[in-house]
Amino acid sequence: MNLLWPLLAALAAYLIGSLSFAVIVSRAMGLSDPRTYGSKNPGATNVLRSGSRAAAIVTLLLDAFKGALPVLLLRWFGPAWGLGEGAQALAGVAAFLGHLWPLFFHFKGGKGVATAAGVLLALQPWLGAAALAIWLAAVLVWRYVSLASMAAGLLAPICYLWLDGLLWQASADKALAMGAMGVLLVYRHRENINRLVAGTESKLGAGKKG
Question: Does any domain span residue 204?
Answer: no
Angstrom distance (rounded) from CA 145 to CA 122: 23
Q: What percent of the chain has pLDDT over 70?
A: 97
User: How many separate domains does the chain show?
Assistant: 1
**What does the pLDDT read at residue 204?**
78
Residue 206 falls inside a structural domain? no
Domain that holds residue 103: 4-198
Name 168's bridge partners. Answer: 164
Alpha-helical segments (H) within the chain: 4-17, 21-28, 44-48, 53-77, 85-100, 113-123, 125-142, 145-162, 172-188, 190-198
- For residue 209, tell me if it sits in a domain: no
pTM for this predicted structure = 0.93
Does 58 map to a domain?
yes
Asked if residue 149 is part of any domain, the answer here is yes
Determine whether 32 is exposed, middle or buried from the number of CB atoms within 10 Å of its CB (0-12, 13-18, 19+): middle
Residue 17 within a domain: yes
In a domain, 203, yes or no: no
* Tens of pLDDT, residues 143-177: 999 999 999 999 999 999 999 988 899 999 999 99
Determine the Cα–Cα distance for residues 114 and 63; give it in Å rounded to an integer: 6
Q: Which amino acid is at 183?
A: V
What is the per-residue pLDDT across 24-41, written as a single tens digit (0 to 9) for each?
999 999 999 999 998 899
Instruction: Determine, yes or no, domain membership for 80.
Output: yes
